[in-house]
Amino acid sequence: MQKLAPLKLGILGSGKGSNFKAIAEAIEEGRLNAEVRIVLSDVEDAGILDYARARGLRAEFLAPGRFRTKLEPEAEARLVALLQEAQVELVVLAGYMRMIKAPMLEAFPRRIVNIHPSLLPKFPGLASWKQALEGGATVTGCTVHYVDGGMDTGPILAQSEVPVLPGDTAESLHARIQVAEHALYPAVLARLAAAR
């Protein structure tokens, strides 16, 4: 039986890149049949870019423009062009803190995935682990979902539960959610890679 070619990934991130690191390690260890074609960030000094460059991967800063929560139209068009030029098949958001708009959604229909630190549809948006604590949740977790035009509203691919423990702080809960994310995200990507 012929082995499937690796799934070509484009990674978008705004921070230190811990989910990207988990994905890269899964590829290296043979748990995920994929290759990272490009890593892009809207933050010039983001750790995710340093991590990608240290691994010899193409990594670029994409100036976002003047908006805080989305890219300017020209920047989003450039993002699409870079991903297409890298022949990306699946766009993976790994701590990317901007909304994805029409140019990206049209260029990569049902081919953009995100991981969110709550059990969606509960606690969408920013700092959802704080929302879970403030809301008195006893269980939270993380969700991998397809990206659509809404805020964390796309179809859910998988979830992993994390209990909220007595005495949890926002920091301790977030740290445990991240452990769950680092297991769930590569596993879901492996499933998508195998299902082609």
Q: What phi, psi does 138 have (nearest 5°)?
A: -100, -20
**18-28 and 47-54 helices, crossing angle to 10°:** 20
Cα–Cα nearest to 174, from 123, 113, 100, 98: 123
The kind and range of the H/E element at 142 are strand 139-146
> Any idea what the Cα angle at residue 114 is, between residues 12 and 186, rounded to 5°?
90
In eight-state DSSP terms, residue 101 is -
Question: Rounded to whole angstroms, how far apart are CA atoms 115 and 132?
Answer: 16
Among candidate residues 116, 145, 174, 182, the one labeled active-site is 116
Return the residue matching tokens 């062009």. 81
Question: Rounded to whole angstroms, how far apart are CA atoms 46 and 62?
Answer: 11
Q: Token digits for 114?
A: 């995100």
Q: Is 182 a catalytic residue?
A: no
Positions marked active-site? 116
